[in-house]
């Protein structure tokens, strides 16, 4: 039996007692507090200006127009790849196969355009194709890397880190198979990498166009907003109607397309493909994207920060060369930059994570 409040007529249910005034409403799941906002872009700009100032004072050859153009031309290849890499990291994904893709794209085009027996090199995969046809073959072949990565991640469900480490090894090996361990020269393909318009190399214009396109995609398209939503909470994004697998699939294809373009620019600049082409590019790309403010946890990042970080990496490397610092110290500096960027990302995540 239950007792009934004598002030309530029979047959009616007593209203629930109101909560005490001091009781706070229950927190809504998934809602975060404001936390601490760190102005990454402003900090990167300060670092870039400081590096410019230091190297300009330390080296009389740093601050001249030809060297500045050389910096832009050098960072163009990494910057083109870093733009789609930013999209992937915003969505919580990785692509560590980009370095192998650069080498594979260059080798595939060089071999496709090679006539059997040219220069004493007789390769079984030499196709003696025209330069435009070999260009198309190289782009399509490199897109295969993106398809494999996308299928493994979105269809099979393999972790992106493991998938792209696998394709990194696969396509570095295929690069050696195609060229049989040799450096393959290519003729009649210098315009893409060395042509200058108003004194600026064509790769710099391509880099700037890539930056603008990807900035517009992230800022003004449904696809860009979907990437942020997936990186923040993939399950919530699916429940909101976002086709998460398709969005990630497209991001891997965009990455492969830009890798192909960067690889062919590099081939055009040096007029030859080697087994070591693109070696270490993945480190530079990841360093730039993370240093630029993209979070390893996903849901955070932007093209502007990535561009500033790419310039920082390029200016640092060029400045150290101007000061006659041995090349292996530049590798040490890049590794320290990556560790520092990841450390800042972890600290930022802890500071902005709200308690529920």
The structural domains of the chain, with segments of one domain joined by +, span: 40-54+61-346
Range with top average pLDDT, 22-36, 83-97, 105-119, 120-134: 83-97
Instruction: Report how far residue 253's alpha carbon sits from residue 234's, in angstroms, rounded to the nearest whole number.
Output: 20
The vertex-185 CA angle with 181 and 186, nearest 5°, equals 135
Q: What CATH number does the domain located at 40-54+61-346 have?
A: 1.10.3470
- Indicate yes or no: pTM above 0.75: yes
How many angstroms separate the CA atoms of 281 and 81, rounded?
A: 9
Query: 85-89, 155-159, 213-217, 327-331 — which is least confidently predicted?
Result: 327-331
Instruction: Judge whether 152 and 158 are in contact, CB under 8 Å.
Output: yes
Report the run of H or E that residue 273 belongs to, with start and end.
strand 272-273
Please tell me which residue, 12 or 167, carries the higher pLDDT value: 167
Contacts (Cβ under 8 Å, ≥6 apart) of 69:
199, 200, 201, 204
State the residue for tokens 């393999």: 158
Per-residue pLDDT tens over the stretch 232-253: 998 999 999 999 999 999 999 9
Cβ within 8 Å of residue 353, ≥6 positions away: 32, 35
Q: In the structure encoding, which two tokens stand for residue 139, read together?
A: 């782009």
pLDDT at position 120: 64
Query: Number of H helices and number of E strands within the chain?
Result: 13, 4
The better pLDDT of the pair 143, 347 is held by 143
Give me 45's structure tokens: 């700009």
Residues in the chain: 356
Lowest mean pLDDT among 69-78, 125-134, 218-227, 336-345: 336-345
For residue range 274-291, list pLDDT tens digits in order. Answer: 988 988 899 999 999 998
Shortest CA distance to 160 belongs to which of 338, 282, 308?
282
Identify the pLDDT of residue 147. Answer: 96
> To which residue do tokens 């290849």 refer?
77
| Residue predicted with more confidence, 122 or 56 | 56
Give the whole-angstrom CA distance, residue 334 versus residue 256: 24
């Amino acid at each position: 039996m239950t007792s009934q409040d004598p002030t309530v007529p029979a047959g009616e249910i007593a209203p629930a007692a109101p909560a005490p005034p001091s009781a706070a409403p229950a927190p809504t799941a998934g809602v975060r507090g404001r936390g601490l906002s760190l102005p990454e872009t402003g900090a990167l700009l300060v670092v870039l200006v400081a590096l410019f100032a230091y190297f300009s004072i330390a080296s009389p050859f740093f601050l001249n127009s030809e060297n500045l153009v050389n910096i832009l031309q050098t960072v163009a290849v990494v910057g083109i790849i870093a733009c789609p890499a930013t999209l992937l990291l915003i969505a919580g994904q990785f692509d560590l196969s980009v370095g192998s893709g650069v080498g594979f794209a260059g080798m595939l085009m060089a071999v496709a355009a090679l006539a059997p027996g040219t220069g004493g090199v007789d390769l079984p995969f030499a196709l003696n194709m025209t330069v435009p046809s070999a260009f198309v073959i190289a782009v399509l072949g490199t897109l295969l890397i993106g398809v494999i990565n996308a299928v493994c991640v979105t269809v099979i469900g393999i972790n992106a880190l493991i998938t792209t480490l696998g394709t990194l090894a696969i396509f570095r090996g295929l690069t050696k198979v195609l060229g049989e361990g040799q450096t393959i020269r290519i003729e009649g393909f210098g315009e893409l990498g060395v042509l200058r318009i108003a004194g600026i190399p064509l790769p710099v214009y391509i880099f700037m166009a890539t930056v603008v396109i990807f900035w517009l995609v992230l800022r003004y398209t449904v696809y860009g907003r979907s990437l942020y939503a997936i990186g923040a909470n993939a399950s919530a994004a699916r429940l909101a109607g976002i086709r998460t697998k398709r969005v990630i699939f497209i991001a891997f294809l965009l990455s492969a397309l830009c890798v192909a373009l960067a690889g062919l620019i590099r081939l055009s600049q040096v007029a030859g493909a080697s087994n070591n082409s693109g070696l270490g590019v993945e480190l530079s790309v990841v360093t730039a994207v993370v240093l630029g403010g993209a979070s390893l946890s996903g849901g955070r990042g932007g093209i502007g920060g990535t561009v500033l970080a790419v310039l920082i990496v390029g200016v640092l490397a060029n400045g150290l060369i101007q000061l006659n610092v041995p090349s292996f110290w530049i590798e040490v500096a890049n590794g320290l930059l990556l560790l520092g960027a990841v450390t800042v990302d972890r600290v930022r995540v802890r500071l902005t994570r709200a308690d529920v």
